[in-house]
Chains A and B, each alone.
Chain A
Amino acid sequence: MNPPSETNSLAEARKGDRGLVVQVGGEAYAGAGGVDAAEIERRLLEIGFVEGARFEILHEGLFGRDPIGVRLDDLTVALRRREAAQVRVRFVHEAAVAAAEAPAPLPDEAAA
């Protein structure tokens, strides 16, 4: 449905960038405090980073623009860029996000 286009790491996103999450996990991850790649993937999934989610970078910290505050569908999550590197995203222009947001016809409505 979407035209094939380049994906980026969420870790490289800048304030104001928006788009869709295309892949969570699967990147090299050095591990931190006993959390390995598989665990960070689950945690990201559980807090709402899931393929297909819409995102927008709302905030950046002062030092090294880290951490970042990300709007994810209906909630806002703060995380460090180190973990954001586990999330691949596709940047989408505002209009295209709006199009992607348009709800698919509900089964009920389709039947009516």
Chain B
Amino acid sequence: MSAAAEAVAGESPAHAFRIALVGNPNCGKTALFNALTGARQKVANYPGVTVERKEGHITTPEGRQVSVLDLPGTYSLRARSPDEVVTRDAVLGRLAGEAAPDVLVCVADSTSLRLVLRLMVELKAVGRPIVLALNMFDIAQRQGIDIDVARLSKELGVPVVTTVATRKRGLEDLLAQVDRLMAADLVAPADDPGVWHEPSVAEIRAAHRQAERTLKDCVKPPARPDTLTGKLDAVLLNPVGGILILLAILFVMFQAVFSLARPAGDLITEGLSQASTYVTASMPSTGWIGLLRSLINDGIINGVGSVIAFLPQILVLFLFIIVLEDFGYMARAAFLLDRLMGAAGLHGRAFIPLLSSHACAIPGIMSARVIDNRRDRLTTILVAPLATCSARIPIYTLIIGAFVPAKTVWGFASLQGLVMFGLYAAGITSALIVAFVIRRLFWRGSAEPFLMQLPDYKVPDAMNVARGVWQRGEIFLKRAGTTILSMMILIWFLSTVPLAPAGATGPAIDYSFAGMIGHTLEPLLRPIGFNWQISVALIPGMAAREVAVGALGTVYSVSGEGSALGGVLAHQWSLATALALLAWYVFAPQCMSTLAVVRRETNSLKWPLIMFGYMLALAYAAAFVVYHVAVALGG
């Protein structure tokens, strides 16, 4: 003990120790990482949530500065997919500019130890001190799984602690063991490559037998096995019933986006128009102050505000997604849709990236890292932005609200919700079709095998859900306050300057830069039914989809059309134009960050360019067809 204290005293405080959390997918590594470091990384009940390495910092009870690494889950250090490569390289110290971890914390799902005990055999070959954290110990206790911790520790030759990451239990024990190992000078020099090598099939089998023996010696099977998962799956994975339930869940979700969020959204809109009235009343309309008033009213309240009004819709959508993720439904949905995805030439696991893309294409594209095969992964990445991301919600809701009557059909469904559902269906269907075309025309051949663990269901943790929804809200507001606000100020500026000459007859915006740009572009976009105001909104809309809504708000407001954007559009646009714009938005590549992430993930400029090109072509074609069909039908 005193030796330990001395060792600590002898170290310079700047020297950071490193520990890494490794283990099978979905065993609670990120939950443990969050509990240890206070981080807020995404935790959810399906394998393959974490696809990057994340670093956090803590101080141990003995005062060591320790950096903690959260890593993607894996069954082996063999590393088949890009996310697993990260884990292997971090564990073996192969990452550039990063020493190997001093201590490996092997995280285990206590209810299912077989595979992690096999992984332990590989981890031991790395030659680093290991602590085994039996996580989800609460569930093991509930099920009456009897684990002889002392014996397990003796047989494995490593300290073993029990943890409940979601309740922050067992963290002191874990850190005490980490301290002990660090003090005991067991830590090998950081550049020691270890003796790990890729295990052969014979070695994998031998490791399995070893794990099996350890299990027999130390773990008694559950006295009260989990029956909830079996009962629920009998219904939710029923071949026919399961698919109907999946459709019903999606249907309810999009209905809710409209009906649940409506009142809150209306309240925000109402508040904004009050604010606008107040600003108009309290500031003069001429001179510099008049310009400032116009900036506040037209640029900020009508621009940024019209985007913020969609916050409730986005929160409702995320509430649904996060509850489903936490509950453990995602892996089931992947199971149910595997054949469909397979028919489109997509990997079964592509379902999760595609579903995540409904929140935002960026995490969706990143989660394609769990797909090992490069072509499968590229196909998934290329079609991911076709999924209806939450940034499309403002424009969809705006147009639906203005052009689709708020009627109830079949006695229970809102017509607006149905149109929304249709747009989502259009997004996912087009993703499948594009994938099919890619796999048939360019990359023929079967997609790689689908092998996925189906985790047990868990009752969603209210705190985790609330935190997740809150976090999404924060991200949205932050975007509104940064990207969108700055674009709005720019658009306001372009729409106001140069000022209309004295004695001008038309609205001032006709004389501004924005008016000039819009009128220049109009001929290009007229064939698809877009007027010059839409042309003005689409350019800044390339930065982020929501910007277009704000830009329309500003453009129409500067042109003096009044402030309730939906009402203005209903008067100004034909139904055909509105439908064409919806069709455009299903496909258009209007998001710089997505293209940047594709560039990073594929490490080339070629793929983002291909993505931009094909999406733009599809958008133009779809809007063209929709516009002309609608006009022909009398829209």
Interface of A toward B, CB cutoff 8 Å:
25, 30, 32-35, 38-48, 50-52, 58-67, 69, 73-80, 82-83, 103-104, 106-107
Contacts and interface: CB of A to CB of B under 8 A. Distances in A.
B477 interface: no
A68 B455 CA distance: 15
A74 to B, nearest CB: 5
Interface string B54-79: 00000000000000000000011010
29 contacts: A32-B448, A32-B449, A33-B347, A33-B372, A33-B445, A34-B372, A35-B449, A38-B201, A39-B80, A42-B76, A42-B201, A46-B76, A46-B118, A46-B204, A47-B75, A47-B115, A59-B335, A62-B240, A62-B336, A66-B339, A69-B454, A75-B112, A76-B453, A78-B335, A78-B450, A78-B452, A79-B452, A80-B342, A107-B217
Nearest to B447: A33
Determine which residue in A59, A65, A82 has the highest number of CB atoms from chain B within 10 A of its CB, and name it: A59
Contact of A83 (B221, B229, B339, B449): B449
Nearest to A68: B335
B348 A48 contact: no
B449 A69 contact: no
A35 B81 CA distance: 12
A46 B115 contact: yes
Contact of A67 (B216, B339, B375, B445): B339
A5 B445 CA distance: 38
Nearest to B455: A76
A66 B115 CA distance: 25
Contacts of A67: 335, 338-339, 348, 450
Interface of B: 75-76, 78, 80, 111-115, 118, 201, 204-205, 208, 212, 216-217, 221, 229-230, 233, 237, 239-240, 242-243, 331, 334-336, 338-340, 342, 347-348, 372-376, 445-454
B154 to A, nearest CB: 12
A29 B363 CA distance: 34
B112 A78 contact: no
A59 B449 contact: no
A42 to B, nearest CB: 6
Contacts of B240: 62
B446 A33 contact: yes
Contacts of B374: 34
A34 B448 contact: yes
A50 B237 CA distance: 25
A51 to B, nearest CB: 7
B384 to A, nearest CB: 18
B373 A79 contact: no
Given A33-B449, A73-B114, A78 B230 contact: no
B343 to A, nearest CB: 8
Nearest to B336: A61
Contacts of A34: 372-374, 448
Contacts of A80: 338, 342, 348, 449-450
A42 B201 CA distance: 6
Nearest to A51: B205
B60 to A, nearest CB: 33
Complex A-B, nearest 3 residue pairs according to Cβ-Cβ distance, in ascending order: A33-B448, A33-B373, A62-B239
Contacts of A44: 451
A100 B419 CA distance: 56
A76 B454 contact: yes
A63 B239 CA distance: 8
A80 B112 CA distance: 22
Given A32-B446, A69-B237, A78-B334, 12 more contacts: A34-B372, A39-B80, A42-B78, A45-B201, A46-B78, A59-B233, A62-B336, A67-B339, A69-B233, A75-B112, A77-B452, A80-B338
A78 B233 contact: no
Contact of B233 (A47, A58, A74): A58
Contacts of B446: 30, 32-33
A36 to B, nearest CB: 11
A52 B209 CA distance: 10
B201 A83 contact: no
A107 B376 CA distance: 49
Given A59-B233, A60-B239, A69-B233, A74 B111 contact: yes
